Amino acid sequence: MKPIKVGLLGFGTVGAGTFAVLKRNQEEIMRRAGRGIEIAMVADLNVERAREMTNGECEVVNDANLVVDNPDIDIVIELIGGYGIARELVLKAIANGKHVVTANKALLATHGNELFKAAQDKGVMIAFEAAVAGGIPIIKALREGLTANRIQWIAGIINGTTNFILSEMRDKGLDFDTALKDAQRLGYAEADPTFDIEGIDAAHKATLMASIAFGIPVQFDRAYVEGITQLQATDIRFAEQLGYRIKLLGITRRTAYGIELRVHPTLIPASRLIANVEGAMNAVLVQGDAVGATLYYGKGAGAEPTASAVIADLVDITRLATADPEHRVPHLAFQPDAMIDTPILPMSEITTSYYLRMHVADKLGVLADVTRILADATISIDAMLQKEPAEGEQQTDIIMLTHQTQEKNVDAAIARIEALTTVVGKVTRIRLEELN
């Protein structure tokens, strides 16, 4: 059987990794796929570099349209990124009857509903294992391996840059700005790290996992997104003293009232396996009703880890290319006509526990005032830490962990606490998840 022909759009880090791994492991891959998989065309603006790195083994062009319009190309790998030209090229590839493999989580989180429908109508596949958690096969696990389960919740460390920064802040006592500069110097963070540190990248990935887990349309615009830029080393240290670690988590949970979809810094008990994921590594914890908790851990980025996921998608498509479209695994796990538009809950309706830190005057009655306000808002205290003021200081920190309550109750309580004349500045609020 002749090899399946692949066109590669974008020959950056992941593109070059994909070419290298496919060439190195071609015999093993062919044994698994049942036929050869050959990158026949590459489109990249830096034609000379791409030609040098492919060693003349495929055609290299500077116009991606030449790839998606080539009738000999069976599968298009989109590694350009972004929302604009990538969307146009993917839609064009689909219209031309080509299957698509992409690592572009931003594209799918914002335009996924449109793209998946176009692919469904045309009878082609969009595969996107590499879009979430790099080399970790979490999409396949959710879409196929856990298909017998009613997924209850997912919590994931799904951005390596922020996890590296938080690990540095905890291990070395660095402030956020210093840890970010270290991450940039070592290549873990981009020159413009906004998508990472503001939680946007993690929210793209959480949005896709929520759709697959619960059979809902892709709804990135309804996700709550909060990054790590306001985190202070002080709070990481206090959390440690209380037996917790702070991670940027992407969380999605099924409730009786709707679906939670949120990304924010989160206290996790230090005894949890996921709390001990350090550096640039990723981990996703999935709770299913039949299997219980399963944890997926590995490299969430990098040339070859991401290439591993891209090539796994190529193999899947190669195996299923001739299958009846009606009998393929659906893009979002559920049959397209069985998707349910369950509402995404606003953040004010979320129920969780909280870490609260307030800087207060060292005066009699301050603690009583604060606890009375919390009681009025039906918020009960689980643990408390009160620091002795430094010698000569007239102010100190009070740290409280609450039992579960709705976010709107905490919002109301914080507003009243900040209005007290004995409270200095803003109350620091970090959400807390037991993940048990």
Rounded Cα distance between 249 and 156, Å, is 5
Residue 61 CB coordination number (10 Å): 16
User: What's the pLDDT score for residue 414?
Assistant: 98
* Mean pLDDT computed over every residue of the chain: 96
Amino acid at 57: E
Q: Which residues contact 87 (CB under 8 A, 6 or more apart)?
A: 107, 111, 115
Rounded Cα distance between 172 and 189, Å, is 18
Model confidence at 292: pLDDT above 80:
yes
Six-digit token pair at 89?
Answer: 């090229």
Over range 12-36, report the average pLDDT. Answer: 96
The domain 138-299 is classified under which CATH number: 3.40.190.10, 3.30.420.40, 3.30.360.10, 3.30.470.30?
3.30.360.10
User: What's the pLDDT score for residue 360?
Assistant: 95
Six-digit token pair at 313?
Answer: 């998608």
Q: Are strands 37-43 and 99-102 parallel, antiparallel or unpaired?
A: unpaired
Is it true that domain 4-136+303-338 has CATH number 3.40.50.720? yes
pLDDT in tens, 234-280: 999 999 999 999 999 999 999 999 999 999 999 999 999 999 999 99
User: What's the pLDDT score for residue 212?
Assistant: 98
323: confidence class by pLDDT, cuts 50, 70, 90: confident
389: confidence class by pLDDT, cuts 50, 70, 90: confident
User: What's the pLDDT score for residue 1?
Assistant: 80
Over range 379-389, report the average pLDDT. Answer: 91
User: What's the pLDDT score for residue 85?
Assistant: 96
Residue spans of the domains in the chain: they are: 4-136+303-338, 138-299, 350-432
339: left (phi over 0), alpha (psi -120 to 50) or beta: beta
User: What's the pLDDT score for residue 391?
Assistant: 74
5: left (phi over 0), alpha (psi -120 to 50) or beta: beta
Contact predicate 18/304, CB 8 Å: no
Over range 303-320, report the average pLDDT. Answer: 95
DSSP string, 292-348: EEEEEEEE-SSHHHHHHHHHHHHHHHHHHTTS-GGGSPPTTSS-GGG---PPBPPGG
Query: Which pTM was predicted?
Result: 0.96
410: confidence class by pLDDT, cuts 50, 70, 90: very high
Q: Is 115 helix (H, G, I), strand (E, B) or coil?
A: helix
Which of 98, 105, 205, 299 is labelled catalytic?
A: 205
Contact predicate 92/65, CB 8 Å: yes
The pLDDT > 70 percentage for the chain reads 100
Given the structure tokens 């009998």, which residue do they identify? 327
Catalytic status, residue 387 = no
Q: Which residues contact 112 (CB under 8 A, 6 or more apart)?
A: 208, 211, 218
Residue 295 CB coordination number (10 Å): 13
Six-digit token pair at 50?
Answer: 């791409």
Q: What angle do CA 269, 299, 234 make, to 5 degrees?
A: 40
Over range 357-381, report the average pLDDT. Answer: 95
Contact predicate 358/396, CB 8 Å: no
387: confidence class by pLDDT, cuts 50, 70, 90: confident
pLDDT in tens, 166-199: 999 999 999 999 999 999 999 999 999 999 999 9
Q: Which CATH superfamily is domain 350-432 in?
A: ACT domain (3.30.70.260)
pLDDT in tens, 63-97: 999 999 999 999 999 999 999 999 999 999 999 99
325: confidence class by pLDDT, cuts 50, 70, 90: confident
